[in-house]
Chains A and B, each alone.
Chain A
Amino acid sequence: MKKLKIGTFPATILTLLVVYALVKWGIPALSREVTSLPFPLPVPGTLMFFYMVLTVVALFLIVTFSDEGLNDFLRPVKKLLRGGYSKALRAVVLTAIPAVIGWQVYELTVPKVEVPSSLRIQHPSSNFPRSFEAKKNPAAAPTGTEVETFMAEVKANEVQFIAQVQEDIEHWLEEAEPEHVLEFFPGPAMRKLLTQLPSGELDRDTAKAALLEKTLFEGRALYAMNCRACHGDSVAGDGPMADGFKLRPIDFTDNGTIETIVEGYTFWRVTNGGPGLPAEATPWDSAMPEWKLSLTEAQRWKIILAEYDLAQKTPRIPESH
C-alpha cells in the first residue's frame, strides 16, 4: 500500500482541529465514562485556550525547526496566494478570512444583553439568630410527661391525633372496627406496644418509640398538606408547583441541603421563609412562605422531623459553646 503523504500545512491544520475536537468533545465524553454521571464535566474556556496555545507553540517549533520544514509549510500558502490552485479559490479565501475577522471584531465590540445575575448564598447566616443554633426539635425527644400522657391515652384507647388526620382515622375506625385505634400503624414499635396492652404494663422505651412513630405520621400528613405542592412527595424539590418558580424549591435528598445545617437553622428558615432572608440570599426570588403566619411551632417541628425522615438525612450537630 502506498504511504499516504500529506503536506506540512494540511497536517498542521489537521492537528489543530484534532486537538480542538479532543478537548471540546473528547474530554466531556470521557468524563461521562469515568464519573458515570448523566451529564459531562464542562471544559472551561481558559483550559481550552491553554491547550490550544500549547498546541500552536508546539506546531510552530516543529514547522520552523528547519528551513526545509518552513518551506514545506509555506509552499501551499504561497501557491494559493499566486492563484496556483485557482483564481476563484484565492478570491474566496482572501475575502473569507477578513470577513471572519471583521465578524469576530463585531462580536467582541457589540453591546451584549446579559441578564443581571448574582451569586446566591443558599445558607446565609448574617441574620441567623445565635439563639436558634442550639435549638433541639422537641418533637424528636418527647419529655417524660409526654410519654406518660401517651401511655395513658393508649391504655384508655383514647389516643389524641392532630385535627388534620382525624377525619381519615375516623373513616378507618368505622370501616375496620378495630379493637384499638393504633392498629392502622404498621410501625414495629407501635406493634410491640399493642402486644403489651393485654398485660396492662407498657414498656416506657417502647412507648417512647411508638410516640415517635405517631409524631412522624402526623408530621408526614402536615408535610403532604403544606409542603408537598412545591417540595414534592419524594422531598426532591419537584412538586407540582415547582416548575413555576425560577428559584426551584430545595431538594432535601441532595447532600448539600438539610444535612449540612442544624435543626435550629431549618426551623428558622421554615419559620421566616423567603422574606426572612438577608439580601445575599435574594429573598425577592424565594417562594418559601413565612410559615409562622400559618403553622404553629409544634406543627413546624413535626414537619421538620418528617422532612429529615423522608429525606433519610440527619441534621448537623450544633457546635458546643
Chain B
Amino acid sequence: MTSLAKYIVAACAAVLISAPALAAVTPANPMPDVTEELLEQGRGIYFKRCSFCHGLLGDGEGPAAKYLDPRPRDFTLGTFKFRTTHSGELPTNEDLFRTISRGLAGTAMQSFDGDMLKNGLSEDQRWAVIAYIKTFAQEFDDPELDPVKTGKVIPLPANRAPFNAETIAKGKVVFERAKCWSCHGKLGRGDGNKEFRKDDWGFPIRIRNVTHPWKIKAGGEVADIYMRFTSGISGTPMPSFVKSLNEGDRWNLANYIKSLQHKLTGHQTLRAHPVPGALPEAPGDAAWRGAQPMDVRLAGQVVAAPRWQNPSIEMVTIRALFNETEIAFRITWDDPFKDVVHDKAQEFDTAGISKIGALSSYVEANGMIPRALETFRDAIALQFPVRPPQGTKKPHFYRGGSSDQVHLWVWKADLEATEEGNARGWKQPIKLQGEDGQQITGQAEWDQGRWSVVMKRPLRTGDKNDVQFEKGVFVPMSVNAWDGSNGEHGLIMSLSTWHYVFLEAPTPITVYVYAVLAFLIAGGLGIWLMRKAEAEGEPAAENPEEEAS
C-alpha cells in the first residue's frame, strides 16, 4: 500500500512539474559533445530527411522549397524564429530539439519525434542532426554568442497565474494597452494591418490569426505563447515585449490569447434548424443564433494540377435554417483582407504545370501567381450532388465526374452575388446555369477579418440540374474556398471532402404517445403495489437492523 501511495504521489508530482513546461518535448540528456562521428551521423540523417526542403547546403533551397509558404529555414544565416532566448540571440540546443521534435504546426515542418512516430528520429539521432545543422551557421562557433554561456536564456516566470476568467480579463487589458490589435486585429484574427507585411527575407508573411490553434507554429499552450512575445520572432515584425511588459502582464496576456483559441465542432452532419416564417437574408440576423454550427476543415487543392499546398482558408463554419418552402445557409470564415476585385488578365495559365512529367504540378508559393491585394476576388462555394445519393454512393468530392454531376453555389465577392452552376469533374470549368436557373438570394458582409455569406434558395426547384432538399434526407455537401489576396482563383483553392446537411423531420406523434403510455403503465403499477403493501400492513416483527441503527 505504501509503495502504491508513493507511486501515486510521484506520478502526480511528475504531472505537476511537466504540465507548465513549454508543452514539453525536452530531451532526457543534454546534447552530447560534437565529434566527427556525431556529425557524420547527422549528415546522413540530414541528407535523407531534411535536405529536400532545407537544401544540401542548408540554405532552405531544397527541391520542395519553392512550393512552400512559409519557406524552409535558411540555416546559414543563424536566424531562428522560435527560441527561449532574448531577442536577436541564437537558439539553445534545447530550442532546436523542441522544434525538430514537435515540428511547427501549420507548416511543412513536421514532428520528427521518434517517441511518437514509428518513423521518427530517436533522441540520439535528433542530437546528431542538430549538431550537423549548427555547422551551417558560423555564429554557432562563437562562444560569445552562446546564449547559455552569456545568460541570455529566458526562464518561465516563477509565479505563473492560473488560466481563469480573472487572468484572462487582465490579459485582455494588456492586449489593448500593448496594442497587439494593431497587427493581430481587435478579435485576434490577424486583420489589424491594411497591407501585407514582409519578413527579413523579403517574402510576404501573414500576421497570425491567433484564434486558429492548428496554425500556431511553435505551440499553442500558455507557456509557448508567453515565450513568443517574450523572445520575439526573429526575422519578422513580431517584436519582443520583454522591455515594455512585465512578467505577470505577459503571462496574463498569454492566458488571454489562449482563451481566444477556437474549439472545433466534431460532427460531420449539419442539422438544418426549422423555423416558422421567413428565413433571414442578412448574415447578422438574430435568427442564426438558433442554428447549429458545423466547422468544416479544408485542405489545399492537391488532387490535380494546378496543385496548391498553401491555402489560406482552412476552416469554414456553416449554419442552416429552413421553413416549409426555403432553405438558407450562412457560411463564415476568417480572411484578414477583403478582396472584391477580380483581374481576369492575371489568372494563372495552368498549361505549363499540367503536363505529364512537368518539373512540378504544384503552384510555386511565390512568383507564379500574384499574391497581392486588388488582384483576385474572395469567393466561397457550396457543392451538392445533383442526383440524390443511392446508399453512400456520391460523386467525387472534387467536382464530381462525367456521369455524376454536382451542383455548385458560388458566391463571388466582386459580384456580391451567388451564381449557380454545374460541374462534371474538375477538367472542365463550372458551367453556369441560365438566367432562370439563378435562384439564390442573400447578403454578405466582411467585418473584422471575417466573411459571412448567406445563400437562400427554395427547397425544391423544377430544375433537373439542381439539388433538391427534403426533410429527413441526408444531402452530401462540401466546400470550395478562395482567398483572392492569397493568389487563389480557379482550381488554386482550398476544398473539403463530403459532409452532410440534414433537415430535421418532425418527430412522429406516436413516439410521444408510447412514452406517455409507458409512464402511465409503470406509474399505475407502482400505485397498485403501494396499495397492496399498505393493505398488508406492518408485519409484527419489524426488521432488527433498522431498530439497531
Partner-B contacts on A (CB < 8 A): 5, 7, 72, 75, 78, 81-83, 90, 94-95, 97-99, 101-106, 109-111, 113, 115-118, 163-165, 167-169, 171-172, 175-176, 184-186, 217, 220-221, 223-226, 228-230, 232-236, 238-247, 253, 274-275, 279, 282-285, 287, 289-290, 292-296, 299, 310-312
- Are A171 and B304 in contact (CB-based, < 8 A)? no
Given the known interface contacts A226-B361, A229-B302, the answer about A102 and B57 at a Cβ–Cβ threshold of 8 Å is no
Contacting pair B119 A236 (CB below 8 A): yes
Q: How far is the CB of A62 from chain B (nearest CB, A)?
A: 18
| Interchain CA distance A95-B519 in the complex, whole Å | 9
Contacts known (A186-B47, A229-B300, A244-B314); A102 close to B518, Cβ less than 8 A = yes
Q: A111-B508, A184-B47 are in contact. Are A232 and B360 (CB under 8 A)?
A: no
Judged by a CB distance under 8 angstroms, whether B16 is at the interface is no
| Chain B residues in 8 Å Cβ range of A230 | 299, 302
Cβ contact within 8 Å between A115 and B474: yes
B44 & A186 in contact (Cβ 8 Å cutoff) = yes
Which residues of the partner chain A approach B545 to less than 8 Å between Cβ atoms?
Answer: 5, 7
Quick one: closest A residue to B51, CB to CB?
A168
Taking CB atoms, residues of chain A closer than 8 Å to B504 are 113
Q: Is the Cβ of A186 less than 8 Å from the Cβ of B40?
A: yes
Using known A-B contacts A99-B519, A111-B507, A238-B110, determine if residue A165 contacts B63 with beta carbons closer than 8 Å.
yes
Judge if B366 is at the interface, Cβ distance under 8 Å.
Answer: no
B299, A164: Cβ atoms closer than 8 Å? no
Task: Give every chain B residue within 8 A of A171 (Cβ-Cβ).
Answer: 55-57, 59, 61
Q: How far apart sit A95 and B392, CA to CA, in the bound complex (Å)?
A: 44
Interface size class on chain B is 35 or more
Q: How far is the CB of A141 from chain B (nearest CB, A)?
A: 22
Chain B residues closer than 8 Å to A7, beta-carbon distance: 543, 545
- Judging by beta carbons under 8 Å apart, are A118 and B391 in contact? yes
Q: Known pairs A94-B530, A98-B521. 11 more at Cβ < 8 A?
A: A78-B536, A113-B269, A118-B391, A221-B52, A225-B52, A225-B63, A225-B360, A253-B117, A287-B299, A289-B304, A292-B356
Q: For A165, A234, A245, A292, which residue has the most chain B Cβ atoms within 10 angstroms?
A: A234
- Would you list which residues of chain B between 370 and 411 have a CB under 8 Å from chain A? 389, 391-398, 401, 404
Within 8 Å by CB of B515, from A102, A117, A285, A287, lies A102
Contact B522 A101 (CB under 8 A): yes
Indicate with 1 or 0, residue by residue over B522-536, a CB within 8 angstroms of chain A CB atoms: 110011011011101
Asked if A90 and B530 make an inter-chain contact with CB atoms under 8 angstroms apart, the answer reads yes
**Cα-based distance from A259 to B299 in the complex (angstroms):** 28
Inter-chain contact A167/B63, CB cutoff 8 Å: yes
Within 8 Å by CB of B297, from A164, A228, A243, lies A243
Question: Inside 8 A of A312's CB, which chain B residues have their CB?
Answer: 119
B396 touches A186 (CB 8 A): no
Indicate if the CB atoms of B52 and A224 lie closer than 8 Å: yes
Cβ of A109 and Cβ of B64 under 8 Å apart?
no
Contact present for B56 and A236 (CB under 8 Å)? no
> In chain A, what residue has the closest Cβ to B522?
A98
Query: Given that A184-B56, A229-B309, A287-B497 are contacting pairs, would A294 and B361 also be in contact in the complex, using a CB cutoff of 8 Å?
Result: yes
CA distance A167 to B49 in the complex (A): 18
A residues within 8 A CB of B515?
Answer: 102-103, 105-106, 109
Sorted nearest first, the 3 A-B pairs with minimum C-beta distance are: A244-B299, A102-B519, A98-B522
Q: Is B143 an interface residue (CB 8 A)?
A: no
Q: Is B99 an interface residue (CB 8 A)?
A: no
Tell me the nearest residue of chain B to A254, going by C-beta.
B118
Closest Cβ of chain A to B351, distance in Å, is: 13
| Distance in angstroms between the alpha carbons of A78 and B497 in the assembled complex | 60
User: Which residue in B300, B356, B516 is a CB contact (below 8 Å) of A295?
Assistant: B356
Residues of B within 8 A of A223 (CB): 52
Contact B543 A233 (CB under 8 A): no
CA gap between A253 and B67 in the complex, in Å:
26
Which residues of B have CB within 8 Å of A253? 117-119
CA of A187 to CA of B356, assembled, Å: 31
Partner of B520, one of A98, A239, A311: A98
| A81 x B533 contact (CB < 8 A) | yes
Known: A168-B55, A240-B110, A283-B396. A296 touches B40 (CB 8 A): no
Tell which of A105, A164, A169, A285 touches B397, judged by Cβ atoms closer than 8 Å.
A285
Give chain A residues whose Cβ lies under 8 Å from the Cβ of B510. 109
Q: Are B67 and A101 within 8 A (Cβ)?
A: no
Q: Please give the distance in Å from B396's CB to the nearest CB on chain A.
A: 5
C-alpha gap A214/B269 in the complex (Å): 48
- Is A310 touching B119 in the complex (CB atoms < 8 A)? yes
Give the complex CA separation of A208 and B482 in angstroms.
Answer: 48
CB A288 to nearest CB in B, in angstroms, measures 8
User: Which residues of chain B are near A109, meaning CB under 8 Å?
Assistant: 510-511, 514-515
In whole angstroms, how far apart are the Cα atoms of A220 and B47 in the complex? 10
B88 within 8 A of A: no
**Could you write out 7 A-B pairs with CB less than 8 Å apart?**
A82-B538, A106-B514, A185-B47, A220-B48, A224-B63, A240-B110, A284-B498
Beyond A168-B63, A184-B56, is A94–B527 a contact (Cβ under 8 Å)?
Answer: yes
